[in-house]
A and B are shown apart, each in its own frame.
Chain A
Amino acid sequence: MPEEKQVVRKKIAAAAEVAKFMAEYYLELDKAAKAGEPKIAWCTSVGPAEILRAMGFLVYFPETHSAMLGATRMATDLIPEANALGYSPDICSYLTADIGAFLRGVTPLAKAFNIDRIPKPDVLVFNTNQCRDVQDWFSWYGARFKAPVIGIHTHRGVQKVTESHVDSIAKQMQALIEPLEQVSGAQFDLNELKRVVELSRACSDIWKKILDTAAAAPAPLTFFDGTTLMGPAVVGRGTQKALDVYKILLAELEERIRNGEGAVEDERYRIYWEGMPVWGRLSAHSKLFAGLHANVLASTYCNSWIFSALDPEDPFTSMARAYTELFIVRSDEAKEKYIKDMLDFFKVDGIIYHDAKTCPNNSNCRYGMPQRLEKETGIPSLTIPGDLNDLRLLSDEQTKTNVEAFIEQLEENR
């Protein structure tokens, strides 16, 4: 009988530090929500968190919460609650799962941290650089909590980032200050913003170093590790604590490189992941690839929290630039150049595109990009249909067969 491959994967010890960081982050928010202070701002994952932090808000990120709904496999049952309110099953399943969870009165924070509800917002601040759905998502909660919803409307399909792009976003960011002062009751302090931006840049730099360790062969971490290790880069950028955790993590990964320790036993194939993770299948996918001696070691997704343009001396303009240079808002030509650089840097053998049904902005396989990139680079690719949160949109058997067949193809063509 053909045996299922046994998978040996060595755990990253610093993951416990990241978990501790996340626990403290949510407990601090919960405490503030119960005490009524400090004020709480909700922010989109690549929103202007630095401004909010500099103005004394604790910052809560609904996307991270919804990713937890996905990872705990709670999301699929909750999505229909939002569908029934008129939010289509075809739109962002982060939105539908999160609103569904709220309506049902459940949260993964309960089991993870003994927190029974998400923190009530005093203000909700979005940036549409992820999608239009985040604005709709925040607007629903804004109406529910009677809290102001303000935000930034990004440019899309940006080929070359110009001064006019940057100026317009910087002006939108500056325009947030006054309404935020009204909510916070405190005056904006430019020096504090500079301090936060400096910390945020440092967090971005160290997160980049962490991800870049995967260029080593064998790679000391996987994309699947990265999706959970990135928590501090998302929710904690602009804080010293995030930096401190990442120093521990980076040291461990560098030690692994020195010892020639790979995250996947006997790494034979190096894979790039383009698109969202399938949160409810992180472990299954990690085991599937590792069992085939394939390491999915780099991704566009985890790199989305690298903001190398941040400059504390010019906070608004540099934030505007950092949030406009983002992969997700760029033209296909710019995206393809970015991916080509990544393939080269990480010495990649093959690309997996995740075609996430409810996340068109993160599904870059729909307009011929895989075919164009394969023609240019000769690196083969595979597209997996699925979704970030809605497990009804997956076929696990098909995914398995597709991935196995893809690795067989890489093997046979060597």
Chain B
Amino acid sequence: MTSKPIYVGADVGASRTKVAILDGDKNLIGRAVRKSGTDFTATAAECLAASLRMARAAEGDIVNAISTGYGRKNVAFARDSRTEISCHASGCYLYFPQPITIIDIGGQDNKIIKLDEAGRRTSFKMNRKCAAGTGAFLEEMSARLDIPLENMDGLARQSANMVKLGSFCTVFSATEVLENIRHGQKIEDIVKGVFFSVIKRVLEMDSLTAHVVMTGGVVAHNPYLVKMTEEMIGRRILVPEHPQFTGAIGAALYAMNRDQ
């Protein structure tokens, strides 16, 4: 068991809760993710316990803890909160200290955040009041197609003839999916079309700068989305080692900075 000081970030998203632990050198030494469920406080506590086990640390080692995300006000062990926009920016800049555009695809919202060379945020955008282009859209489609969410990435990769979906709306897209099933389209081609729809919705939110970083749970579990996006924008995309944890890592960085 270490007695080194540690810094905790808790990202309570609409879909998943993530906790990250950084040591004093900003190394990610502990992390955990759980479904957010209905009791955000309990889920965050569970994630903290698991992260501490991974970090081989104890609660007494925590110097500071900051929460972020949709449920940021429900984290009992956090001393303060910061929005997920700031935390994703901070977390990404740790790994890519250069001017970047961050595309974060979360369970219920998307963000496009632009940073300058000093890591200062120059702009941000969140999706409008619509689930199109988010993880919720993929969840809805996996239910419609009756395939497990975790199988979608593999299926999309098998597609040779993608089916394009035209609608903005999740509900209308679902109708389109059913229509394509009725017309005998292959499931993998429809799934790739679903992925394509997600990327289109995200890319129309804002322009991109030269260096693009993709993060979020949807990206973590569906890396083929990154490959498809690279093909669409014609350049390489940077992805941190743990794309689902950048918000939590950013929160831990704020915890560290506020302590200093």
Residues of chain A whose beta carbon lies under 8 Å from any beta carbon of chain B: 1-4, 374, 380, 385, 393-395, 397-398, 401-402, 404-406, 408-409, 412-413
Contact = CB atoms under 8 A, between A and B. Distances in A.
Contact of A408 (B74, B75, B85, B129): B85
Nearest to A402: B126
Interface string B40-76: 0000000000000000000000000001001011111
Contact of B120 (A404, A405, A412): A412
A408 B86 contact: yes
A83 B109 CA distance: 30
Interface of B is mostly: mixed
A398 B126 contact: yes
A409 B81 CA distance: 14
Given A1-B76, A395-B129, A380 B123 contact: yes
A344 B52 CA distance: 51
Instruction: In the A-B complex, list the 4 residue pairs whose CB atoms are closest, starting with the nearest.
Output: A405-B85, A2-B81, A405-B83, A395-B129
A413 B120 contact: yes
Contacts of A397: 70
B86 A412 contact: yes
A126 B129 CA distance: 34
Interface in B84-123: 84-86, 109, 120-123
A398 B130 CA distance: 11
Contacts of B123: 374, 380
Contact-residue size bin, chain B (C-beta under 8 Å from the other chain): 20 to 34
B235 interface: no
B157 interface: no
Interface string B237-252: 0000000000000000
Contacts of B139: none
B82 interface: yes
26 contacts: A1-B76, A1-B78, A2-B72, A2-B73, A2-B75, A2-B78, A2-B79, A2-B80, A3-B73, A393-B129, A394-B129, A397-B70, A398-B109, A398-B129, A404-B83, A405-B83, A405-B84, A405-B85, A405-B124, A406-B124, A408-B82, A408-B83, A412-B86, A412-B120, A413-B120, A413-B121
Contacts of B73: 1-4
Contacts, number: 53
Nearest to A411: B86
A409 B129 contact: no
A405 B86 contact: yes
Nearest to B121: A409
Contact of B85 (A3, A385, A401): A401
Contacts of A402: 126
A402 B127 CA distance: 10
Interface in B199-225: none
Interface of B: 67, 70, 72-76, 78-86, 109, 120-124, 126, 128-129
Most chain B CB within a 10 A radius of its CB, from A393, A401, A405, A408: A405
A412 B82 CA distance: 12
A366 to B, nearest CB: 12
B84 to A, nearest CB: 7
A146 to B, nearest CB: 41
A155 to B, nearest CB: 32
A12 to B, nearest CB: 30
B75 A1 contact: yes
* Residue among A1, A380, A398, A413 with the highest chain B CB neighbour number at 10 A: A1
B129 A385 contact: yes
Nearest to A355: B128
Contacts of B72: 2
Contacts of A412: 86, 120-121
Contacts of A408: 82-83, 85-86
Given A1-B76, A2-B73, A398-B109, 6 more contacts: A2-B75, A2-B78, A374-B123, A395-B129, A401-B84, A413-B121
A2 B255 CA distance: 13
Nearest to A409: B121
A4 B74 CA distance: 10
Nearest to B65: A2
A365 to B, nearest CB: 12
Contacts of A413: 120-121
B67 A2 contact: yes
A1 B75 CA distance: 6
A394 B129 CA distance: 7
Contacts of B129: 385, 393-395, 398
A412 B74 CA distance: 24
Contacts of B126: 398, 401-402
A375 to B, nearest CB: 11
Contacts of A385: 128-129
B106 to A, nearest CB: 11
A4 to B, nearest CB: 6
Contacts of B67: 2
Nearest to A393: B129
Nearest to A394: B129
Interface centre among A2, A4, A413 (most CB of B within 10 A): A2
